[in-house]
Amino acid sequence: MSTATKPLLTPEQRAARKAKQRKRWIERLREEMRKDVEQLRRIIDGEAKKPS
């Protein structure tokens, strides 16, 4: 759907969509942090062979 034909969102819908995007972004960030920390632990424990 092109931008021109996209239905306009109400402020509430826009806020809800933004909150959802924010939540997803936080979850992705947490997941990346978790993976990096896991790799760090493997390096500390001497178990790391190659980066995950």
Told to check if 17 binds another protein by CB under 8 A, we report no
User: HSE on the CB side for 35, CA within 13 Å?
Assistant: 8
Tokens found for residue 46: 């001497």
**In the complex, minimum distance from the CB of residue 40 to another protein, in angstroms, rounded to a whole number:** 5
Q: Which is nearer to another protein, 13 or 30 (CB)?
A: 30
Told to check if 9 binds another protein by CB under 8 A, we report no
Question: Which residues are near another protein by CB under 8 A?
Answer: 15, 18-19, 22, 25-26, 28-30, 32-33, 35-37, 40, 44
